[in-house]
Each structure stands twice: as C-alpha cells, then as structure tokens.
Structure 1
C-alpha cells in the first residue's frame, strides 16, 4: 500500500479526521504496518503498552480475562483505534485484542502518538470522549457477564 493510501485511511479514523494531511503523512511514514491472521492476538492483556493500532481492515474482539474466563467486551473494526489506553495511562494492556478475521493495522509508536496529541489538543478531547464511551460500554458488558455467572442454573 502506498503512503498516500495509508494517509487516506488515517483520515477516515474519527480521531484523526481534523489533523492536517502533512502531519498524517509523517505519522503514516513513522508507523509500521502489521497483519494478523484470524485467531492471532494483536496484543495480550498485561503486555507493555508501547503503541496504539489503527485498524485498516478486518475485525477483532477485545477480551478481558476475568480469572475464570475471557469476556468479550467489545469488537473493533476498520477505522478504529486500539491500544491507546496503555499509552495514555502508562499502564500495561488492559485487554487482549484477538483477530476474528484477517486484520491489517498500522502500529503507531507511543512517542508519535503523544507528539500528535501535543500538537493537536482537539485530538486529546476526542480521545477523552472515546475512552469515556468505551469505559461505559465495558462496565456494562462486565456487569452483564458477572450477572450471568452468578445467575442460578435453570
């Protein structure tokens, strides 16, 4: 894929929509393109958070280990971003992301991601919105999963 195609794909990600094309070109150039096969983990819960990933194509499940099982808390698809929580909070990965189809991603290093946020404060506000929405969704999914685990068997 050409650099201009990667820039175009980055522009489709709501988080990057308002960023100047020249800056996106630098971001795409500094990023690494990776492919995962179906069933392969992009990263695992507990791994070091060294990068964020933009999904160029494919889908993946976001799974949280509850101690007894893995709970699917979300699904990611084209034009979404994953892995940014570990960068922003400087913590290990909070979930496992496993490809459910062939998955192509652009790996954005922690430094590149933080530089972009520094240069574009609007992006930081948008990230807060995305994270708040995700937190709300994940909390609901975990609550549902826990209530199913503790429900009496019929």
Structure 2
C-alpha cells in the first residue's frame, strides 16, 4: 500500500469525489468501485465507504481492506484496516464480485490530501495489491 500512497496522482479538488486507478501499480490491477457518503468527506467525522470490485486473485485471510488518508508527501494521516475474512467467509474466489460497506474516520485534512482504498496483504513496496482506487479528498 505504501507504494500506492507514494504515487497518488495530483488532481484538482472536485465537488464530487471521483475514484480512479492507483498509478503505481501494474495496469491490469483491478480498480475498485468506491462511493462515499457524505460526499465530499467531512473532516474529523466518520464517512461511509461503499466498495466493490471483481478481483483477479482470491481474497484469503492474508488480505485486508485498507482505507487510508494520505497527505501530499505520501504520509499516511489515518488508515483504517478491515480484516475481510472476519466479515465474510473466505476465500472469496477470483472473478467473484466483492462488496462491502465500511465506516472510516476522516482526519483533519491539510488541503491536498488523498483517499486510497485497497485490498492488499500489507503496506509497503512488497505488498500484493489485489485491487485499488484513489481520489483527491
């Protein structure tokens, strides 16, 4: 996930949050479909994230869902980690639609911050990322 964080594209702020591909991953990495409520996020509150995607690899107990807020320098401001397999029966087979609704804390934002949502087996350059999406907060 850290490699994703370091390559977040710099986008202009928009009224509605639009999630797109994480730029530092192979081009065939599935892009997660993410919507948030309220939109845009409200700092120092909880937002609801509706996340879905069809992945190319099985989700096993080695993978978690990450919802991270990252500043312009790539520093994680806040990171909610969800143990997927504590919420659903794993494995979730490749090609099966994964859907979840999660609440995540929105930290105080500094102006040019990003939201990164990913399913991975860790944080760092060696992490295996099954799906990802990013947006300007």
Query: Fold match, TM over 0.5?
Result: no
TM-score calculated relative to the size of structure 1: 0.25
More helix by share: 1
More strand by share: 2
TM-score calculated relative to the size of structure 2: 0.27
Higher relative contact order (CA 8 A, sep 6+): 2
